[in-house]
Amino acid sequence: MERLISRHGKINILFEMRDFHGWEAGALWEDTKFALHHFHDIGRLAVVGEARWEEAMTIFCKPFTKAEIRYFEHRQHDEALRWLRSKIVNV
C-alpha cells in the first residue's frame, strides 16, 4: 500500500467481505491504525458485502477517512468496480 500511495497519490480500495463475522480485537485495532495513518490517502472505498449490518460499517468507517465510501451488495460487484474507476467530479 505504501508503495502504491507514494507512486500514485490517492488510491481507491475495494473491500470485499465474504463470510465476514466481524473483527477480533487485534485485527480491528490494526485496521483502525491503518485508516488513521492513511486518513488522506484513500480517494474512494467500495465496501462489497452480503449482510445489512455490513452496510452499516460504511457509517462506522467515515470518521477514520476522508475517502468517499459506498456500500454494494455482491451482485453489484461490477458496479462497485465501475464506481472506483470513474473520475471524481468536484462540484
What is the overall mean pLDDT for the chain?
A: 78
Strand partners, 15: 47
pLDDT band of residue 91 (cuts 50, 70, 90) is very low
Q: State the Cα–Cα distance between residues 9 and 69, nearest whole angstrom.
A: 18
**Residue 56 CA, distance from chain mean position:** 13
Q: Residue 6: pLDDT band by 50, 70, 90 thresholds?
A: confident
The model's pTM is 0.73
Q: Alpha-carbon distance 91 to 86, whole Å? A: 15
- Check if the beta carbon of residue 65 is closer than 8 Å to that of residue 45: yes
Element (H, E) at 33: helix 25-37
Q: How far is CA 82 from the centre of its chain?
A: 15
Q: pLDDT of 62-85, one tens digit each? A: 777 888 889 999 999 999 999 999
